[in-house]
Amino acid sequence: MSQPIRVLVVDDSALMRKLIPQILAGDSSIQVIGTAIDGNFGLRKIEELRPQVITLDLEMPGMGGIEMLKQIMASHPMPVIVVSSHSTEGATVTLKALALGAFDFVAKPTDVSARIQEIGSELIAKIKAAAQSHAAMPLQPNPQFAAPARSANKEKAAKPPARIISIGISTGGPHSLNYLLSRLPGDFPAAILVVQHMPEGFTEMFARRLDECCAMEVKEAQSGDLLLAGRVLICPGNRHMRVKRLPLGDVVVLSDDHRVNGHRPSADVLFRSVAELFGREAIGILMTGMGEDGARGLGLIKAAGGVTLAQGEQSCVVFGMPKAAIECGHAMHVVELDALADTLAQLCVPAKAISAGQI
């Protein structure tokens, strides 16, 4: 039998230092080897106990979580799962932690003592994924097209998109999307729709951060938003996103339908809708993430005559979602992250229209 995953819990709350180990004790493949009250104690415990995964609170007295995370990434690179406050301030600092190299996060329920079990299965799954994750080489966003060059593009007349690109992504997504979108120009001829597995309240801040560093317009989607060339729409947390054709143009619509594959938003819901409405004009992409969400929907885009891509294993933080699509035969092309922007640019130039079987 394999050895259990060694976990260190760092949190200034005595209640959380009690509850998290209790939750994790329910899975025999995980062992909490210690706890720490702040970043200083946490760094000492890393040296002493050599954990494989760390759960980290960000708001702590003394050395806070952000400073501890910086030191971990500089001296002891290992997977860190942030246990985040579910608030606007919590979302801001959590996204900063992800940018600094945190593996993923779970959001604390408002009433921690009564509802801690709600995050139990999520935390266990993410610890297991973290322990098996790829040490993907961090890639830096491209400043070539970033925000200063975008002001002129924003004033251009809105254009209908040449293609509709739909992306499903989860763990590792914030950094990977930042890298990809920063490499696309503001006059990119396609519209991009993104399902990022992220809780309600975090996606709006995530879209704002992407908008600040990308030449394309990036916003959290609202029902009725038009699909326009050069626009990226991020599905809000806890909603599903579909596409619909109206007299004024093609738009997105949001819903509160039941979870699919355990997720809301679900990539399968978006992909199915895009396949039905756009057929050969559709491009579907599954990127880094846990689980199998999106694999079936990618197959529907392929069957409708669209192009389907999966991110390559080497650049995935977690090779779950792309792997599921590849194993099902639904991914027509496997492309590493550093080549994905160029691949999309090639696919989306109307004058060089490329058939679904070629790149």
Active site (catalytic) residues: 170, 197, 293
CB-based contacts of 187: which residues, under 8 Å, 6+ apart?
A: 153, 156, 229, 230
CB 8 within 8 A of CB 33: yes
Q: How far does Cα 114 stand from its chain's mean position?
A: 28
Measure Cα distances from 46 to 20, 51, 52, 77, 274 in Å.
18, 6, 9, 11, 47
- d(CA 303, CA 321) in angstroms, rounded, equals 19
CB-based contacts of 13: which residues, under 8 Å, 6+ apart?
A: 57
Rg of the chain, C-alpha, whole Å: 21
Residue bearing tokens 């106990």? 49
